Amino acid sequence: MHPHFFGDTAVLLGRSLRHITRSMDTIITTAIMPIAFLLLFVYVFGGAIDHGSGDYTSYLLPGILLITIASGISYTAFRLFTDMKNGIFERFQSMPIARSSVLWAHVLTSLVANLISLVVVTGIALLMGFRSGAGVLSWLAILGILVLFTLALTWLAVIPGLSAKTVDGASAFSYPLIFLPFLSSAFVPTASMPGPVRAFAEHQPVTSIVNVLRELITQRPVSADLWLALAWCFGLLLLAYACAMLIYRRKIS
């Protein structure tokens, strides 16, 4: 590790965060789609959806939070693509800084921006009547899973940010991720789905993550989905990180 890695990352993180504060509309835009889905499903479809017992807002919120993250990471790919095309990476390479700090600054900026968006969406849910008796440890566990999921998807976003040929290609990859929760237990129980769709829904990462978040929010015993969720998050994080760093080294070599 470069001896000045942490200091270099902190300086570049400050640069990226200043860009965020100057364009808060990106965070607001990120939150608009999840909030629209939240309002639509609770007030339009909620009465017709059989989700079992309890409040539908509490049932729905975990999936909406994952959609918020998937929506937010597209800006990471966009910012990386812009820096690559503007020649900023070449300038950084001419300086005596840790090369990986450039990517980590973008990743941590994404984490901060997504956490703000998650707070905004949760605030809207509270205004809509969402309540949870979960304790501090449960909320810390929820935060930990959301942070892990954000880091995994953000490193995944780094790949198109470095390799895309157009700005549309850099951000469009997030669209399938945004709609993946619709083929999971985020909105309805998987038992209500037809055979092939149910099989896919029950064995994709979003379902296990949503189930664990829902159990923590509603104070139910945490199932074995916890280990599946952690395995998916860590596996995706390690794979995306390795691929992103490989592409980055080829770009700057």
Residues 21-45: pLDDT tens digits? 666 666 677 788 889 989 988 888 7
Q: Both tokens of residue 174?
A: 């997030």
Helix (H), strand (E), coil (C) string for 189-238: CHHHCCHHHHHHHHCCHHHHHHHHHHHHHCCCCCCCHHHHHHHHHHHHHH
CA distance 251 to 253: 6
Q: Give the pLDDT confidence of 55-96 residue by residue, as tens digits.
A: 888 889 999 999 999 988 888 888 888 877 776 666 666 665
φ, ψ for residue 24, nearest 5 deg: -65, -15
- Looking at residues 9-13, what average pLDDT do you find? 76
Q: Give the pLDDT confidence of 115-132 residue by residue, as tens digits.
A: 989 999 999 999 998 888
| Residue % of the chain over a pLDDT of 90 | 34
- What are the extents of the domains in the chain? 5-252
Average predicted confidence (pLDDT) for the chain: 84
CA atoms within 13 A on the CB side of 62: 27
**Element spanning 215, H or E:** helix 205-217
Between the two ends of the chain, the Cα-to-Cα distance in Å is 18
Which 3 state secondary structure label does DSSP give 33? helix
Q: What is the pTM of this model?
A: 0.89
pLDDT tops 70 at residue 3? no
Q: What is the per-residue pLDDT for 103?
A: 83
Handedness of CA 109, 112, 118, 119 (dihedral sign): negative
